[in-house]
Chain A
Amino acid sequence: MKLTSFGRMQVEASSLVAPAWMSAVDAKAFGERYLPIGMGKSYGDVGLSTGSIAVSSLGLNRFLAFDAATGVLVCEPGVLLRDIQSAFVKLGWMLHVTPGTSLVSVGGAVANDVHGKDHHLAGTFGEHVLGFSLLRSDGQVLECSALENAGFFRATIGGLGLTGFITSVTLQLKKVAGPYFDTEVIPYTNLGEFFELSNETEAAGWQASVSWFDCSTSKAGRGSFTRGNVSARAYDAASEPKGLGISVPFTPPISLINKLTLDVFNAGYFRLQKAGAGKREMHYKEFYYPLDGVGNWNRIYGPRGFFQYQSVIPMEHAGGATEEMLSIIKRSGQGSFLAVLKTFADRKPAGLLSFARGGVTLALDFPNRGDKTEKLMQSLDRIVLETGGALNPSKDGRMSREMFEAGFPGLEEFKQYRDPAAVSDFSKRVID
C-alpha cells in the first residue's frame, strides 16, 4: 500500500485500515505499529510510516452535534475543514483558525496544531479544541480536555498522531456575520517595509494577515502584504463563488519551477498582486484558500517533488536572520516560488509540540534537486539553530534530531504520553 505525502515523498505502508463507521473503529486492527492518517497534506514524513498500518480517519466524516447558541461542534475526525466552513458559515459560524488549505481533516488539524492568517488574534487550531476522544492501541479510550486527561490533551494537540487515534473532536466555532472579508493588498519593496506593515496591521487590530514575497534570484525582498477582517455582510447563497474546477492533470517529467521559470513566475505574480492592490471584498474561499481551486498543484514540481522549509525565528532576531536567509537563498541560485512570510504573536502554545510561537515565520518551497537542495537547507538550519528558532514538523522531511530537540523543548514531557505503537517515519528519524 503506497502512501504519498504532499511534497511527493512515497513509502510503503503495510496496509490501510479505514473504518467507515465509529462502531467499526477497533484498536485491535492497529497491529503492532500504526499511524493515524488523514488527507495526506503534510509535506514530508509526519504522515508516512513505512511498514506500519495506516489508519485513515477519512471514512469517519460526520458532524455529530452542533449547538447553535454557543457554536460548539462535535464531529468525527475525518470531517474536512472545507465542510465545516461551508455548512456553518450559513448559520453565522466559522472556524477560528484555518491553514491555507481547507482540504485537511479535523484530526490532522489537531495533530499538527495548524495555524493560519489569524495567529496574532486567535492562535492555533488547538486553542479552539475543547476536547476529544482518544483511542490508544491498548484499546483504552481517553476523554481529553483541559480539565480531564490534560496531559494527553496537550500532547495530542500538535502530537503528530503519535499519542493515539482521535475518534471525535469538540470544537469551538467563531461567530461571524457571513463568509466575506474586507481585505487590503499592499505591495512592498523590501523586508523593512514588511515588518512595518506587520506591526501596523497588528496594532490596528486587523484580524488576519499574510504576505507573499519574491524569493527568486534577482528581485528578492519585494512582496505583497494581504490583510483582512470579516465583513459585516451576511451569507447570500446567490453570490457563492463557483470553484475554479481546474487541476494539474498529470505530473510533468521535470519540475516546472526551475531556474528558467522562477524569475518569470515571481515577476508575473508580483505584477498580478500589484494590479490587485488596494481594498476589496473577498469570499473566505478566495481569502483563505486561493490554491484549493487548483487540484493537485503540487504536481508542478515534477516526479521528484519538493521540500517546504518553514522556520520560525524569535522576534528579536527576525529582521537580521530573514535577511541572511534570503541572501543565502539568492547565492544558492535556488529561489522559491511560493514564499510566505508572517509574524506570530507571543502566545502560550496549545500543545507540547506546537510549532507556532512568537516570532516571524518564513515558508519556502524548493524543488527537490537532491544534494544541492539539502545543502541549501542545512545552511538555513544553522541560522534557525543559532537564533533559537524551530522548523515546522508538518512541512519537514529531513530535519536532524538535533534540530528537532532544540526547537521543541516540550519533547521530554511529550514522550510520557506517546502511544508506544504509534510510529511515523518522522518519529523514527527524530524522536525514537
Chain B
Amino acid sequence: MRIVVISATSAIARACISKWADSADHEFLLVGRSAVKLKAIEADYSLRFPSSKFSSLAIDLNSVSDISSLTESLARKPVDLALVAQGSLTEQSQASSELGYLEQQLELNVISAGLFTESLAGLFDRQGFGTLGVIGSVAGDRGRAYNYSYGAAKAFLATYTEGLQQRFSGSKVRVCLIKPGPTATPMTSAHQGKMADPADVAAVIVAGLARGKRVIYAPKLWRIIMLAVRSIPFAIFKRLNF
C-alpha cells in the first residue's frame, strides 16, 4: 500500500507505522513539522523495516498552501491510506486563562486537522478510492470540565468525519474516526500500568482501518465505557467528578 501519515512523529502515528510495516511491505510518506524528528524516524524505520520504503516531508501543518501542494503532489500516484494524526493534549486551566494558548491549540487540533481531512478526502474522491483515518478522541464524546477545550476540538472531527462518511456512502472511499483512550507516552509507558500501550492501540487502529470501520475505539473497551458515559443524564453528569 501507499500510506501517507500526517503528524507522523506523534506517538500513536509512530506505533501505527511500525504495525503496518511489521505486517507487510508498504511505501510510506511521513509528513510532519520538524525535519529533524522526521529524519530520525525515517532512518529508524528504514533500518527496522528494510523492505518497506520510507520518505519524509516537513511542512507547516497550519498552512493552506502547504497542505494544498502536498495533496496536489500526492495525486501523481494513488494513495491507499492516509492517517491524520495531529493533536495536542490541551491543558484546560491554561486554555481557560490564556486565550493565545487556546488559539494555538485550536489551530492545530481543529483547523489543521480539519484542513488535512478535507483536503485528503478530496484526493480520495478524485481517485475514487482510499481509506482516510482521522484521530479523534474519547474526550470528544462528552464535554467535561476537565478537558472541554480538547474534547470540543475532537468533537469537531467527529461531526466532520460523519459528514464525510455520508458524502462517500456507496463509494469506495472510507472515512474512519479513531477514538483512542488515554494512551501512555514514553513519559509513562514502562513505569505505570494504567494507560494503554501505544502498540496495543495501534493494533486496534490498523485492524479497524483495514476493515474500513466507521468509528474505531482503541482499546476496544472504550466503546462500552463511552456508551455508558454518553447515556448519563446531564442532571447527574454535572455532579460527577472524573
Contact = CB atoms under 8 A, between A and B. Distances in A.
Asked if A pairs with B, the answer is: yes
Interface of A: 1, 3, 16, 18-23, 39-40, 54, 56, 58-59, 61-66, 78, 83, 87, 90-91
B48 A18 contact: no
Contact of A63 (B47, B188, B189): B47
A57 to B, nearest CB: 9
B47 A18 contact: no
Contacts of A21: 37, 40
B185 interface: yes
B225 interface: no
B48 A63 contact: yes
Contacts of A83: 48
B207 interface: no
Interface string B24-47: 000000000000110011011001
A413 B187 CA distance: 35
B47 A87 contact: yes
A5 B190 CA distance: 12
Contacts of B47: 63, 65-66, 87
B44 A56 contact: no
12 contacts: A16-B188, A21-B37, A22-B40, A40-B190, A56-B186, A59-B186, A62-B40, A63-B43, A64-B40, A64-B43, A65-B43, A91-B50
B189 A62 contact: no
Nearest to A64: B43
B171 to A, nearest CB: 36
B210 to A, nearest CB: 20
A165 B187 CA distance: 16
A58 B11 contact: no
B11 A56 contact: no
Closest 10 CB pairs of A and B: A59-B186, A62-B44, A63-B47, A18-B187, A20-B186, A18-B186, A87-B48, A63-B44, A58-B190, A66-B47
B191 A1 contact: yes
A259 to B, nearest CB: 31
A18 to B, nearest CB: 4
Contact of A58 (B36, B43, B44, B189): B189
Contact of A59 (B44, B50, B187): B187
Nearest to A60: B186
A16 B189 CA distance: 11
Given A40-B190, A65-B47, 10 more contacts: A16-B191, A18-B187, A18-B188, A20-B185, A20-B187, A23-B37, A40-B191, A63-B43, A64-B40, A66-B47
A79 to B, nearest CB: 9
A58 B11 CA distance: 13
Contact of B41 (A62, A78, A87): A62
Interface in B32-78: 36-37, 40-41, 43-44, 47-48, 50
B45 to A, nearest CB: 9
Interface in B110-134: none
B187 A16 contact: yes
Interface string B196-235: 0000000000000000000000000000000000000000
A78 B191 CA distance: 14
Nearest to A13: B191
A40 B189 CA distance: 12
A62 B43 contact: yes
Contacts of A22: 40
Interface in B161-193: 185-191
Nearest to A63: B47
A56 B191 contact: yes
Contacts of B44: 62-64
Contacts of A58: 186, 189-190
A50 to B, nearest CB: 15
A245 B50 CA distance: 26
Given A1-B191, A62-B41, A63-B43, A23 B36 contact: yes
B191 to A, nearest CB: 6
A62 B40 CA distance: 7
Contact of A90 (B41, B43, B50, B190): B50
A83 B22 CA distance: 12
A389 B192 CA distance: 37
A370 B50 CA distance: 51
B38 to A, nearest CB: 11
A66 B43 CA distance: 9
A350 to B, nearest CB: 26
A87 B210 CA distance: 25
**Most chain A CB atoms below 10 A, which of B43, B48, B187, B191:** B191
B50 A56 contact: no
Contacts of B48: 63, 83, 87
Nearest to A20: B186
Nearest to B185: A20
B189 to A, nearest CB: 7
A91 B51 CA distance: 11
A20 B189 CA distance: 11
Contacts of A63: 43-44, 47-48
A57 B30 CA distance: 24
B78 to A, nearest CB: 27
A29 B44 CA distance: 26
A59 B14 CA distance: 12
A78 B189 CA distance: 13
B51 to A, nearest CB: 9
A165 to B, nearest CB: 15
A39 B186 CA distance: 12
A397 to B, nearest CB: 19
Nearest to A90: B50
B14 to A, nearest CB: 9
A39 B190 contact: yes
A14 to B, nearest CB: 14
A432 to B, nearest CB: 25
Contacts of B37: 21, 23
Contacts of B186: 18-20, 56, 58-59, 61, 78
**Most chain B CB atoms below 10 A, which of A18, A40, A62, A63:** A62
A341 to B, nearest CB: 31
